[in-house]
A and B are shown apart, each in its own frame.
Chain A
Amino acid sequence: MAVVFDGVAYGLQLGLLAVGLTMIYGLGGVLNLAHGQFAVLAAIAIAVLSDRLPTPAALVAGLAIAALAALATDATIMRAVYRLDGEARVLLSLLLTIGLAFVIDGLLIYNYPFTQLKLSVPGPAVDILGVPMRRGSLAASALALSALALLIVFLRYTRRGRAVRSVIQDEEGAQLCGIDPARVRTAVFALSGALAGLAAVAEGLTSSVSATDGTELTILALIVTVVGGLGSVAGALLAGLLLGLVYTMSQVYIGTYVTLVILLLTAMVTILIRPAGLLGRGV
């Protein structure tokens, strides 16, 4: 039981990490390989600012910085990407965001080599259905869950959210209904930056985030995104939960180093069985 809970907690974090990426792909058909770097950027910003500001203010500022970085990316290098379409677009976005990831990684590792984001929630473990859970882990899960729930409510029930979904489904059709896809894209890009930052906060609540973690986070987000189905928010959540459970279970029952192999194997098999992803639209 404890394993399942841990798996769910980790899975929610993975889902949170992946939603931003999946939405950008769904909207613009671009892959952002600097997603994990945005997360790390937020984490380092929060860690640095919390020395001077009260923690809540630092959190908000950190998320805002990640969102601004994403916004700046959309407004500058992504412009060239949007002018292309199809596979050329994906490829250029991939190459450019690799470059961006290098820039962010390089600057952060150079300036803050030893900074870590570690948010501890003091207090004893809480009993949930007889399973003692660490407070940090609970807070991270609550954070991920509420962020994802808010996102889904936003996408389903608000006018703006519907506009986003309409662009994901059919860009031309949305345009005919008076929606400006470029503006929606920009907004979602900024949102994805903030979501990446939130994922970093969740990670900081359970373990720690440092400047060198960007690439690993990007790859995890990418795998979860693809397993869930590119462009599907609920899919990202589901895939996150699946992979999180697989990860913690194999960690407990099988052993440490095989765990990652099993996680990756699961991802590979899922992609091969359902190339469109768990909840992706048909190919």
Chain B
Amino acid sequence: MSEAPLPVDADDAAADTTRRARDSVWWAYFPVMVTAVVLAGVPLVIGDSRFFMGLAVLGLAYAGYGVGFNIIFGNTNQLFLCLGALAGVGAYGSSILGSEMDLPMLVTIPLSVAGAALLGAVFSWVSVRRRLDVIFVGIITLTFSLMFINLLLGQRDLTGGETGLVILYDAGVVGRRGTASFYVFLAVLVAFLAAHRWIQRSHIGWAFRALRDDELAAELAGIDVARYKVVGGIVGSAMVGLIGALYAHYEGFISPTTFELGNVDVPVLVMVAFGGIGSLLAPVIGSAVFTVVDEVLRPFSQLRVAVYGVILLTLFLGFRRGLIPAATDLLRRVTRRR
């Protein structure tokens, strides 16, 4: 093992102050605030058009899934390929609870989110217990996703099978198409980002970094790897479940297709990987880019998938670790040279 020599700063005092500035709370939450402000301006730019607001809300939902995935995979190295299923648990859970038991939204959503979190906890716990590799966690959760979709298709009485489920009762602000629901989703996304940053800065984030770098070493250093992985699984899954539930009430209609692997997991994986797995803003940047790309490619009809593929190939061949790490590297190189 070779270690790069530590860079010695000529001006220690200056370095000290910048470091202190960087450690400050204000600086830590700065990206979250910028994101909030920039995204809050989106409706002002694109207007209250139903179509574009729909796209924007979808983009926010994907970014929300992305934050959850980023916490699970980017921080604790567990490849959950059951995001669609977790979102589906949130969505179907809350709408079925609402219609069958006549509970208000404020009760059903937390319940279904708890369900998703519990599921995430089980996956994390099982994979830690069985010491599964990244790929195996991926396959187990992928198998679960397929099972979940098949169960949705099968339990017609409850889920409406492939025809889907219409959510009949009033969803309040969430269901009001246009700017109102946009801001609801934006608030949730910003809360997620803040939570992610908070985790990164807490002792949990410290443990996450250690176990991501080297699980064995982290274990030897006295970190309860199992516990922190389960924590990651719970937090991320709850986020994904919440977005699923909100999306169901916003859209007013859900079907198994909504939560298919190809409609949730694959795009989210691609978005987060494009932004840079583990980076705070990766889900936001990835989701923004792919929402725009998807729209631009719409005229290509069926060929769109192929063009999408070509874009993916070029992107991942170009920025292997993601856009954000590549950009920060570049920035660091430029500033150091000066």
Chain A residues with a Cβ under 8 A of chain B: 31, 77, 80, 84, 87, 90-92, 95-96, 98-107, 109-110, 113, 215, 219, 222-223, 226, 230, 257-258, 260-261, 264-265, 267-268, 271-272, 275, 283
Contacts and interface: CB of A to CB of B under 8 A. Distances in A.
Contacts of B63: none
A223 B312 CA distance: 24
Given A219-B142, A222-B139, A77 B317 contact: yes
Given A77-B317, A80-B317, A110-B303, A103 B262 contact: no
Contacts of A109: 302, 305
A101 B316 contact: no
Nearest to A110: B302
Contacts of B144: 264, 268
B150 A271 contact: no
Given A77-B317, A257-B153, A264 B147 contact: yes
A272 B147 contact: no
B320 A80 contact: yes
A257 B150 CA distance: 7
Interface residues on B, range: 35 or more
B312 A271 contact: no
Chief secondary structure at chain A's binding surface: helix
B108 to A, nearest CB: 25
A96 B302 contact: no
B312 A99 contact: yes
Given A90-B135, A261-B154, A264-B146, A110 B309 contact: no
12 contacts: A91-B134, A95-B269, A104-B309, A105-B305, A113-B302, A257-B153, A260-B147, A261-B147, A264-B146, A264-B147, A272-B130, A275-B130
Interface of B: 77, 126, 130-136, 139-140, 142-144, 146-147, 150-151, 153-154, 262, 266, 269-270, 273, 301-313, 316-317, 320
Given A92-B320, A275-B130, A103 B143 contact: no
A90 B134 contact: yes
Contacts, number: 117
Contact of A96 (B135, B142, B151, B317): B317
Given A260-B150, A261-B154, A271-B136, A283 B306 contact: no
Contacts of B306: 102-107, 110
A-B CB proximity, top 6 nearest? A106-B306, A102-B309, A99-B312, A106-B305, A103-B309, A257-B154
B313 A264 contact: no
A61 B316 CA distance: 32
A102 B317 contact: no
A99 B316 contact: yes
B139 A271 contact: yes
B309 A100 contact: yes
Contacts of A104: 306, 309
B312 A272 contact: no
A216 to B, nearest CB: 10
B309 A260 contact: no
A257 B159 CA distance: 14
B150 A92 contact: no
Contacts of A99: 308-313, 316
A275 B306 CA distance: 35
A106 B303 contact: yes
